[in-house]
């Protein structure tokens, strides 16, 4: 089913037939259900079977329902400047330097994690990752704090970013902490769109896959599987008018988004480990290259005053750790 959001984005959602099993479905039924075709590459096929095999017996497809959040933006990496000087409307390729800081390390006021870059002559087509949803806390009382964990393409050296992830928000009043947790997708400069009926909670392991056709793409497909509960969902969404995929970078990030026009405060999320950090790039001849997330740069987030808030650590070629190092509650 297609629906057009008030932002102008077109979203296609899917409703597979009762009894649909992605492990045994043929390619026609997979595509009708919004799933990627079964990979021909033996290593990627093993990954496909591993993820879906892990939820065999509890697989539950959720046709996504959506909510537009026009005040929330997960935009490109912001270089280390005062957060008050940067808003969603002012972030552009000219304000996002692709490799600031030391060689191999980038700094940012909104991103932490890792970024990989496409080989010369190739652009990224898809990116994947697994992570466990953190249990977030608010470092101080009576203020909302935010933590978005996501995978994406573009945004480091380009003015757009295509991304899917999970938002965690926390508000502390005395000893009581209120939290909101939900999955979302975005193609900046469009704002965030939440998936309201896909069950997620702290401790759940999420597998996410984001697919495009590479440079110049104006649509993307998103896939979420909750490995803990067995819930899965999929959708396709379009880029803003005049925007297309650059495909130069792929990311695994814990971010403090822009909310209501201002840089939000980072929630105390403890740590997040992204595993199976891999992106695939290709060229016009059909050649493809698998790129590990740990082959690029790590990104450290600070508050614009030199105080580090969230650190990105490249543990192995395919495991990226994000660690909260800011003020404790």
Average pLDDT along the chain: 92
- The domain locations on the chain are 61-76+98-324
The CA distance from 304 to 158, in Å, is 21
Q: For 145-167, what is the mean pLDDT?
A: 97
Q: For 291-311, what is the mean pLDDT?
A: 94
> Is residue 100 very low, low, confident or very high in pLDDT (cuts 50, 70, 90)?
very low
> Is residue 84 very low, low, confident or very high in pLDDT (cuts 50, 70, 90)?
very low
pLDDT of 94 higher than 60: no
pLDDT of 132 higher than 90: yes
> Is residue 88 very low, low, confident or very high in pLDDT (cuts 50, 70, 90)?
very low
Higher pLDDT, 75 or 80: 75
Superfamily of domain 61-76+98-324: Peptidase G1 (2.60.120.700)
Quote the pLDDT of residue 304.
80
Mapped onto helix, strand or coil, the DSSP state of residue 52 is helix
Mapped onto helix, strand or coil, the DSSP state of residue 51 is helix
- DSSP structure class, residue 216: T
Higher pLDDT, 327 or 280: 280
- Contact assessment for residue 225 and residue 206, using Cβ atoms and an 8 Å cutoff: yes
The CA distance from 110 to 300, in Å, is 9
pLDDT tens, residue by residue, 16-37: 998 899 999 999 999 999 999 8
Token pair belonging to 243 = 């925007």
pLDDT of 92 higher than 70: no
pLDDT of 90 higher than 50: no
Quote the pLDDT of residue 99.
42
Give the residue among 322, 253, 319 at the shortest CA–CA distance from 292.
319
Quote the pLDDT of residue 81.
55
- Contact assessment for residue 169 and residue 159, using Cβ atoms and an 8 Å cutoff: no
Quote the pLDDT of residue 102.
39
At a CB cut-off of 8 Å and minimum separation 6, what does 126 contact?
A: 153, 209, 210, 211, 212, 279, 280
At a CB cut-off of 8 Å and minimum separation 6, what does 116 contact?
A: 249, 250, 251, 277, 279, 291, 292, 293, 294, 295, 296
pLDDT of 250 higher than 60: yes
- Contact assessment for residue 152 and residue 114, using Cβ atoms and an 8 Å cutoff: no
* Residue 35: C-alpha distances to residues 21, 164, 223, 321 (Å): 11, 16, 7, 28
> Is residue 274 very low, low, confident or very high in pLDDT (cuts 50, 70, 90)?
very high
pLDDT of 68 higher than 90: yes
Q: Among 98-107, 124-133, 258-267, where is mean pLDDT lowest?
A: 98-107
* Residue 7: C-alpha distances to residues 67, 178, 193 (Å): 12, 29, 10
> Is residue 106 very low, low, confident or very high in pLDDT (cuts 50, 70, 90)?
very high
Q: For 290-309, what is the mean pLDDT?
A: 93
């Amino acid at each position: 089913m297609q629906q057009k959001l008030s932002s102008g984005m077109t979203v296609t959602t899917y409703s597979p037939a009762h009894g649909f099993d992605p492990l045994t479905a043929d390619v026609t039924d997979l595509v009708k259900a919004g799933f990627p075709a079964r990979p021909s590459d033996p290593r990627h096929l093993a990954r496909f079977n591993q993820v879906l095999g892990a939820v065999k017996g509890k697989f539950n497809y959720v046709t996504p329902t959506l909510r537009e959040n026009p005040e929330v933006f997960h935009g490109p990496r912001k270089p280390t400047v005062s957060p008050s000087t940067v808003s969603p409307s002012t972030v552009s390729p000219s304000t996002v330097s692709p490799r600031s800081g030391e060689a191999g390390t980038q700094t940012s006021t909104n991103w932490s994690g890792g970024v990989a870059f496409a080989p010369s002559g190739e652009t990224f087509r898809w990116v994947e990752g697994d992570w466990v949803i953190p249990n977030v806390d608010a470092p101080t009382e009576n203020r909302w704090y935010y933590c978005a964990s996501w995978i994406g393409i573009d945004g480091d050296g380009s003015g757009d970013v295509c991304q899917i992830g999970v938002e965690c928000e926390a508000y502390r009043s005395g000893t009581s902490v209120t939290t909101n947790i939900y999955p979302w997708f975005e193609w900046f400069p469009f704002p965030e769109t939440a998936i309201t009926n896909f069950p997620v909670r702290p401790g759940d392991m999420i597998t996410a896959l984001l697919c495009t056709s590479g440079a110049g793409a104006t649509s993307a497909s998103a896939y979420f599987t909750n490995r803990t509960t067995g819930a899965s969902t999929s959708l396709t969404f379009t880029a803003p008018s005049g925007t297309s995929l650059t495909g130069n970078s792929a990311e695994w990030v814990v971010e403090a988004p822009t909310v209501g026009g201002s840089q939000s405060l980072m929630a105390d999320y403890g740590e997040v480990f992204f595993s199976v950090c891999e992106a695939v790039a290709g060229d016009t001849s059909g050649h493809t290259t698998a790129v590990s997330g740990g082959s690029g740069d790590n990104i450290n987030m600070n508050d614009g005053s030199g105080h580090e808030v969230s650190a990105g650590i490249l543990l192995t070629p395919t495991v990226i750790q994000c660690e909260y190092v800011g003020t404790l509650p």
